[in-house]
């Protein structure tokens, strides 16, 4: 029988390093620092991202930017709600950077649930 080792406790120093990394990645996502790809959303917004963050985690975007592939593609949800879909794409990209994503606190519960389903 295989027994896994006891999980190692995370030290304060390690927690600080993880927090600093997450903060740095969130800032890179929010302000597009050192971006090398631009993802244009159907609502006209542009998200400036980094291949080294996005490609290893998302086959769709990696394949979309291969030579000879399409350059522009609109992303829409099944319900055709482009606004909610662009918000979900932005949240998904934020998740690739930070392992977390933001939601609009002003949404009522049914809309919050739909947003999480879109994710």
How many other C-beta atoms lie within 10 A of the C-beta of residue 95? 16
Average pLDDT over residues 19-48: 90
Within 8 A by CB and 6+ apart from 43, the residues are 82, 83, 86
Sign of CA dihedral 6, 8, 9, 15: negative
Residue 80 has what pLDDT? 46
User: How many Cα atoms are found within 13 Å in the side-chain-facing hemisphere of 113?
Assistant: 3
Residue 83 has what pLDDT? 57
Q: Which residue has the higher pLDDT, 110 or 25?
A: 25
pLDDT 10s digits, 39-92: 888 888 999 999 999 999 999 888 888 877 755 544 444 444 555 588 888 999
Is residue 8 predicted with pLDDT exceeding 80?
A: no
Q: How confident is the model at residue 111 (pLDDT cuts 50, 70, 90)?
A: confident
Our measurement of the distance from residue 69's CA atom to the centroid of its chain's CA atoms, rounded to an integer in Å, reads: 22
Residue 75 has what pLDDT? 47
Domains and CATH numbers, the chain: 16-118 (3.30.710.10)
Task: Report how far residue 20's alpha carbon sits from residue 90's, in angstroms, rounded to the nearest whole number.
Answer: 22
Average pLDDT over residues 97-114: 84
Among residues 61, 16, 70, the alpha carbon closest in space to that of 35 is found at 61
Is residue 28 predicted with pLDDT exceeding 80?
A: yes
Average pLDDT over residues 92-97: 93
């Amino acid at each position: 029988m295989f027994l896994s080792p006891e999980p190692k406790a995370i030290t304060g120093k390690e927690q600080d390093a993880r927090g600093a990394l997450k903060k740095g990645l969130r800032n890179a996502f929010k302000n597009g620092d050192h971006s090398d790809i631009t993802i244009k959303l159907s609502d006209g917004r542009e998200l400036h991202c980094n291949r080294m963050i996005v490609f290893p985690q998302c086959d769709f975007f990696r394949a979309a930017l291969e030579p000879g592939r399409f350059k522009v593609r609109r992303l829409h949800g099944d319900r055709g709600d482009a606004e909610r879909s662009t918000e979900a794409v932005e949240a998904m990209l934020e998740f690739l950077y930070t392992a977390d994503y933001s939601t609009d606190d002003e949404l009522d519960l049914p809309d919050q649930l739909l947003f999480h389903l879109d994710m």
